[in-house]
């Protein structure tokens, strides 16, 4: 049988396809690298040193990133940058981009006078954004003064502001962020979907009031992994309407542990379901894992909750299921018998 021999200058079809794929990929990558823009907040007027308010500079950098559909990085260099209460707005009305990264090498610092932001509810708030990533950096809420005000029983103390909040947002990444001394909650995920929190460090005094590390409510598909949380309240709190949460590899303590609830405060209330908490070490906490609900009628619920591979070290109450939750022990609603409920 005769064998056909290819000519020496013939290039196999598979090699041609591979070369075409390579050049197309290289071309697209080159174009993408030119399309990406880095916006240094210094170029927008931000001043390091922690004394001059740089709020306007950060908002101007955000507006610039929002004015293009290509991915952008807002860069915060080393140094301490004083910022007042700011809201980074998304939606098509304010922001065209679906890919903004905020890379922080320095620290963002809240005003030391708690009256400046204490009645605003949030310090750094992202509202209705999509595809935002916050990478690295320190968020210093400077909440010590407000904690002292509350501990001394001063009724004129403001409620306090959350360090970092996301509301009505999708496809969010919070990676390597350190949140310290928040006036109130450190990180809040509210009415949002597809959120990944990884490598976060939360630090506040063990006697700091209402300083939950990470609070999730009315949100779905939230992942919290590989984080270290030391605070004066819940390390992680899971509020009504939270579904499909995965929490893993957490170091918790001091604090009140990881809590589902409180639930059932309202008659009409969204439930909590499909929550997994695994591989968590609790050290010196008041509680380990806890589910708490008010003893009043409600259509709220908690189901398919999994606690697995937990380590408790010097924990006062390792597992708590409280269906008579009433934190102030005043005008508490009617109680529900736990044994009757499970029979």
Catalytic residues: 256
* CA neighbor of 258 nearest in space, from 295, 308, 326: 308
Q: How far apart (Å, rounded) are the C-alpha atoms in residues 81 and 40?
A: 13
């Amino acid at each position: 049988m005769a064998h056909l021999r290819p000519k020496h200058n013939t290039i196999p079809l598979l090699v041609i396809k591979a070369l075409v794929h390579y050049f197309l990929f290289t071309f697209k990558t080159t174009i993408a690298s030119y399309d990406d823009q880095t916006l240094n907040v210094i170029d927008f007027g931000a001043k390091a040193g922690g004394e001059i308010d740089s709020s306007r500079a950060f908002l101007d950098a955000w507006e610039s990133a929002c004015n293009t559909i290509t991915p952008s990085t807002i860069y915060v260099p080393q140094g301490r940058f004083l910022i007042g209460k700011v809201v980074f707005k998304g939606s098509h009305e304010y922001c065209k981009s679906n890919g903004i990264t905020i890379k922080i090498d320095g620290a963002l610092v809240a005003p030391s006078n708690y009256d400046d932001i204490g009645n605003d509810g949030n310090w750094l708030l992202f509202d209705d954004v999509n595809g935002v990533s916050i990478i690295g950096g320190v968020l210093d809420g400077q909440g010590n003064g407000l904690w002292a005000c509350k501990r001394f029983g001063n009724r004129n103390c403001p409620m306090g502001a959350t360090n970092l909040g996301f509301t009505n947002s999708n496809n969010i990444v919070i990676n390597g962020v350190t949140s310290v001394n928040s006036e109130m909650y450190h990180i809040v995920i509210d009415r949002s979907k597809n959120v990944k929190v990884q490598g976060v460090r939360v630090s506040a005094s063990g006697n700091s009031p209402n300083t939950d590390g990470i609070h999730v409510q009315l949100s779905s598909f939230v992942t919290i992994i590989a984080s270290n949380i030391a605070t004066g309240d819940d390390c992680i709190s899971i509020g009504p309407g939270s579904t499909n949460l995965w929490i893993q590899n957490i170091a918790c303590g001091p604090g009140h542990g990881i809590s589902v609830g409180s639930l059932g405060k309202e008659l009409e209330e969204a439930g909590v379901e499909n929550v997994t908490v695994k591989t968590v070490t609790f050290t010196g906490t008041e509680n380990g894992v806890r589910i708490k609900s008010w003893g009043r009628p409600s259509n709220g619920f908690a189901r398919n909750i999994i606690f697995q591979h937990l380590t408790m070290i010097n924990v006062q109450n390792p597992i708590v299921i409280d269906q008579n939750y009433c934190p102030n022990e005043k005008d508490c609603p009617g109680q529900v018998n736990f044994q009757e409920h499970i029979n």
